[in-house]
Amino acid sequence: MGSLGKITEFFRKNYETGQYAVAINVPKEQCITFDELTFLKGENDVRQSLQESLHIYVGTELIAAGVLGNKHSEDLLMNPPNGSYLTQLLKKKGLDGCVVFYTLNSPCIDNCLSNNEDSILPGLAELKAHTGIKAFAFKHIYQWDQNKNNLPAELGKVAERVPLYRCFYECILCGKPGSSTITKESCRWGNLLSIGVPSRTVVLGDEPEAEAELEGVDVMMPNHSLLGLQDGSSCLDTKVDGAALNEGEKVKLAELLRSFAELFDGHLGHTSIVELMDM
Residue closest to 202 by CA, chosen among 173, 222, 232: 232
Rounded distance, CA 57 to CA 236, Å? 42
One domain for residues 204 and 181: no
* CA dist 198 → 31, 156, 204, 238, 245 (Å): 41, 37, 18, 16, 25
Total count of residues recorded for the chain = 279
Answer yes or no: are the C-beta atoms of 137 and 172 closer than 8 Å: no
Q: Record the pTM.
A: 0.70
Report the distance separating Cα 54 and Cα 183, nearest Å.
37
pLDDT in tens, 192-226: 443 333 333 333 333 333 333 333 333 323 333 33
Range of the domain at 210: 193-273
Kindly state whether residue 154 falls inside one of the protein's structural domains: yes
| pLDDT for the residue 63 | 96
Residues 34 and 168 in one domain: yes
Residue 223 lies inside a defined structural domain of this protein: yes
183 shares a domain with 51: yes
Enclosing H/E stretch for 48: helix 46-50
Q: Is residue 279 part of a domain?
A: no
160 pLDDT band (50/70/90 cuts)? very high
* Domain co-membership, 142 together with 246: no
Q: Which amino acid is at 255?
A: E
Q: In this structure, what DSSP letter does residue 189 have?
A: -
Cβ-based neighbours of 140, under 8 Å, separated by 6 or more: 104, 105, 106, 190, 273
Q: Cβ distance 171 to 100 under 8 Å?
A: no
First and final C-alpha spacing in the chain: 19
Q: Does one domain contain both 30 and 110?
A: yes
Domain count, the chain: 2
Task: Report the DSSP pairing between strands 98-105 and 134-140.
Answer: parallel
Residue 269, judged by CB atoms within 10 A of its CB (0-12, 13-18, 19+), counts as exposed
pLDDT in tens, 35-69: 999 999 888 889 889 988 789 999 999 999 999 99
Q: How far apart are CA 23 and CA 3, in angstroms?
A: 15
Q: Which of 107-116, 130-139, 226-235 has the lowest mean pLDDT?
A: 226-235
Examine the domain organization and report whether 76 and 112 are in the same domain.
Answer: yes
* Model confidence at 235: pLDDT above 60: no
Q: Is residue 22 located within the same domain as residue 61?
A: yes
Describe the chain by its helix, strand, coil percentages, rounded to 5. 30, 15, 50
pLDDT at 17: 85
Residue 88 placed within a domain: yes
- State residue 29's pLDDT score: 92
The predicted model gives 110-128 an average pLDDT of 96
